[in-house]
Amino acid sequence: MAGKVVVLGFWTSMFGERSRIALEEKGVKYVYRQEDLSNKSPLLLQMNPVHKKIPVLIHNGKPVCESLIIVQYIDEVWKDQAASLLPLDPYDRARARFWADLIDKKFHVAGRKIWSIKGEEHEAAKKEFIEILKQLERELGDKPYLGGERFGFLDIALIGFYNYFYVFESRGNLSMEAECPKIVAWANRCLLRESASKSVADPKKV
Ligand code: GS8
């Protein structure tokens, strides 16, 4: 029951990449429409009138907004196609959602400050950013993926940020490899998957 699936996105958006990776993992065919965020299309404004942001997943004409909600929607609608993206155990699901929420509320915010501001706030953001990376490394432990043995929801939530690794390094004057080698190894492992390598933008171009 694929129906018609359209993704409104933007090429450097880690949030847009989440939707695409989830669809690729499920083997769902979709049409990708790149938005001009400085001149948003009438379709985007109609489909996401509240936030006016990408990504939007349009499934049979109906919009789903907010990337983590989109990934969970894809997982539910195409539940019989490929393995579940979220863990099956309720506690593990809650834990994956907790970390994904932290990525959006803290990691993303601190990372953005690294490349967008200077001074004391920049230094504080850099410290927080590295601290969260180390927390994520602890969550990863010795597992191949944040989702455990299989690539899943939490991996999708974080891997889109790979396209900013180079920006974090150059603007933050830091080495991701030195600060969080396990996360770098994890990212390289994720990028071996076609779903991720097809969807995540080249960090040097970003
Ligand atoms: C964030 C989407 C977002 O920030 C989600 O989907 O998870 N919480 C949302 N989208 C940005 C592009 S990515 O930086 C966007 O559409 N910005 C346009 C604008 O703010 O006008």
Q: CA dist 114 to 97, 111, 160, 180, Å? A: 25, 5, 17, 17
> Quick one: pLDDT at residue 2?
63
Closest of 37, 48, 171, 174 to residue 116, by C-alpha:
171
Ordered by where they begin, the domains of the chain are 5-77 (3.40.30.10), 90-199 (1.20.1050.10)
Q: Which amino acid is at 2?
A: A
Helix (H) or strand (E) holding 63: strand 62-65
Closest of 47, 29, 25 to residue 9, by C-alpha:
47
Tens of pLDDT, residue by residue over 64-122, are 999 999 999 999 999 998 999 999 999 999 999 999 999 999 999 999 999 899 999 99
> Quick one: pLDDT at residue 3?
82
Residue 53 CA to ligand 1 center (angstroms) comes to: 5
Closest of 183, 134, 132, 141 to residue 159, by C-alpha:
183
Residue 89 CA to ligand 1 center (angstroms) comes to: 30
Q: Which amino acid is at 130?
A: I
pTM of the model: 0.96
Angle between helix 120-140 and helix 165-172 axes, rounded to 10 deg = 140
Does residue 95 contact residue 138 with C-beta atoms inside 8 Å? Answer: no
Residue 13 CA to ligand 1 center (angstroms) comes to: 8
Chunk the chain into consecutive blocks of 10 residues (it has 206) and report each block's average pLDDT, rounded to whole numbers: 88 97 97 98 98 98 98 97 95 97 97 92 94 96 96 97 93 94 97 96 88
> Quick one: pLDDT at residue 149?
95
Site to probe by mutation for ligand 1, drawn from 52, 53, 64, 161 as the one with most ligand atoms within 8 Å of Cβ, is 53
Residue 23 CA to ligand 1 center (angstroms) comes to: 19
Q: Among the atoms of ligand 1, which is closest to the Cα of residue 12?
A: 13
Q: Which amino acid is at 205?
A: K
In this structure, the residues whose C-beta lies within 6 A of any atom of ligand 1 are 10, 13, 15, 37, 52-55, 66-68
Does residue 98 contact residue 154 with C-beta atoms inside 8 Å? Answer: no
Cβ-in-10-Å burial (0-12, 13-18, 19+) of 154 comes to: buried
Site to probe by mutation for ligand 1, drawn from 11, 39, 51 as the one with most ligand atoms within 8 Å of Cβ, is 51
> Quick one: pLDDT at residue 204?
87
β-bridge pairing 31-34 and 5-9: parallel
> Quick one: pLDDT at residue 78?
97
Q: CA dist 9 to 4, 12, 34, 93, 175, Å? A: 16, 9, 5, 26, 29
Residue 156 CA to ligand 1 center (angstroms) comes to: 16
